[in-house]
Amino acid sequence: MRAIEAITTPGETAALCQSVGVSRASLYRRRRPVPPAPATRPRAPSPRALDATERQAVLDVLHSERFVDQSPAEVHATLLEEETYLCAPRTMYRVLAAAHEVGERRAQARHPAYTKPELVATRPNQVWSWDITKLKGPIPYLYYSLYVILDLFSRYAVGWMVALHENAHLADRLIAATCLKQGIAPHQLTIHADRGAPMRSTLVALLFSDLGIDASHSRPRVSNDNPFSESQFRTLKYRPEFPGRFGSLAHARAVSRDLFAWYNDAHHHSGLSYLTPAAVHYGRAATVLAVRHRTRLAAYAAHPERFVLGPPRPEMLPTAVWINQPPQPTREDAPGATPVTPDDPQHGVIRRSPPITDDRSITLVSSVDHYSKC
């Protein structure tokens, strides 16, 4: 740059700037730097402005018992009729604003600070998440409502229902029937949902009070406060057998019955070490993981050279499932996870319950199907 500044011929300056990749404008700005802007001085008050005494006189008039509940325009008109002029109505507003006495008198919508929901489930039937999604009907603008209650820990759909519309009475009956089927005791369960009308209805709130259930709601306009229900809806709607439109309400129920049978009993969930939700929900996860581990050990004994990382380790099942708060690491080798084996009585990760047949889940659905005809 110094060598270029020594050149005075315009043609040579342009050639040298192009050879070193420097813009001529940068060179010229360096030769003639822009002087700093002068410091701004405080603006002098307008000669038309009211002085402190006059401003206080305006405030005293507006604070008087006679004008305390009237607008500045009304006060200004009244004073003019009495041959008194203090200032313009807009100046009265400025004086009131400077005294922090201007506010909205109408009832305005207020947005309180909603608490961020933080829920944790360490076993099945401890936290449920429920939501409603729309299913396209046979014609445009006709939709069916699919209610789904999902267990947070096992991702098991403990109850579902297809109805013609969203209704608090239908949601109340579905939740009550699902709690009865799952044997929910008072003060055992927390149910999380968004802020839809059925979720915040008085009928559902009274049901929660009667059954001893704690309610939790998402924050308004926050998309990730109910992620498990939204993810489950996406899994169902991306299945090949999920149609673009349902021909009737009976068709929607029949397809949903097959989809939930697949989701609960055949779908290997990636968040559950690829176990099925039914296996985790009803205490069969430890046995399944033990069988998998024995199979891997047998394969390792036959061909150890194919296992470059050494002997296979037992698969891990998360000990806790959170909403809006990640679990704290418990082990250096597997943060937030503990191996589950059937011979380890210390881990209360899986509640051991008698296994059920496929008919039980179908019975739950059929027991609430007739409510959707209300």
Closest by alpha carbon to 92, among 52, 66, 55, 67? 55
Q: Is 257 helix (H, G, I), strand (E, B) or coil?
A: helix
The CATH number that applies at residue 239 is 3.30.420.10
Burial class (CB in 10 A: 0-12, 13-18, 19+), 31: exposed
Name 170's Cβ contacts closer than 8 Å, sequence gap at least 6.
Answer: 147, 161, 163, 198, 371, 372, 374
* One domain for residues 8 and 83: no
User: Does the residue 276 lie in any domain?
Assistant: yes
The pLDDT assigned to 327 comes to 54
* One domain for residues 297 and 247: yes
Q: State the distance between the two ends of the chain, measured CA to CA, in whole angstroms.
A: 85
The pLDDT assigned to 3 comes to 64
* One domain for residues 21 and 69: no
The pLDDT assigned to 259 comes to 97
The pLDDT assigned to 364 comes to 35
Sign of CA dihedral 136, 137, 140, 146: negative
User: Does the residue 36 lie in any domain?
Assistant: no
Q: What is the DSSP letter of 200?
A: T
User: Does the residue 123 lie in any domain?
Assistant: yes
45-102 confidence digits (pLDDT tens):
888 899 999 999 999 999 999 998 899 999 999 999 999 999 999 999 999 999 999 8
Tokens describing residue 350: 């899986």
* One domain for residues 252 and 353: yes
281-303 confidence digits (pLDDT tens):
999 999 999 999 999 999 999 99
* One domain for residues 123 and 77: no
* One domain for residues 146 and 224: yes
The count of structural domains within the chain is: 3
What angle do helix axes 72-81 and 52-63 make, rounded to 10 degrees?
Answer: 100
User: Does the residue 52 lie in any domain?
Assistant: no
The pLDDT assigned to 105 comes to 72
Q: In whole angstroms, give the CA distance from residue 204 to residue 215.
A: 10
Please say whether the beta carbons of 170 and 147 come within 8 A: yes
The residue with tokens 């401003």 is 55
Please say whether the beta carbons of 337 and 318 come within 8 A: yes
22-46 confidence digits (pLDDT tens):
787 887 787 777 777 777 778 888 8
Averaged pLDDT, 161-189: 95
Residues 19-27: contacts with CB under 8 Å, at least 24 apart: 27/1
The pLDDT assigned to 21 comes to 78
Q: Is 172 helix (H, G, I), strand (E, B) or coil?
A: helix
Sign of CA dihedral 35, 41, 43, 45: negative
The residue with tokens 């989809």 is 259
Is 0.85 topped by the overall pTM?
Answer: no
The residue with tokens 């589950």 is 340
Q: In whole angstroms, give the CA distance from residue 216 to residue 194.
A: 8
The pLDDT assigned to 345 comes to 36
Q: Supply the range of the domain harboring residue 7.
A: 2-31
Strand partners, 150: 129, 157
* One domain for residues 125 and 91: no
Query: 107 vs 93, which has greater pLDDT?
Result: 93
User: Does the residue 190 lie in any domain?
Assistant: yes
* One domain for residues 129 and 92: no
Percent of the chain with pLDDT over 90: 66
* One domain for residues 175 and 238: yes
User: Does the residue 105 lie in any domain?
Assistant: no
Q: In whole angstroms, give the CA distance from residue 329 to residue 120.
A: 15
The pLDDT assigned to 349 comes to 35
Tokens describing residue 139: 């014609």
* One domain for residues 260 and 219: yes
User: Does the residue 38 lie in any domain?
Assistant: no
* One domain for residues 336 and 243: yes
Q: Final residue of a domain: which of 73, 98, 123?
A: 98
Whole-angstrom Cα Rg for the chain: 35
User: Does the residue 94 lie in any domain?
Assistant: yes
* One domain for residues 259 and 292: yes
Closest by alpha carbon to 58, among 89, 31, 37? 89
Closest by alpha carbon to 148, among 127, 171, 168? 171
Averaged pLDDT, 356-371: 35
Closest by alpha carbon to 189, among 212, 163, 219, 160? 212
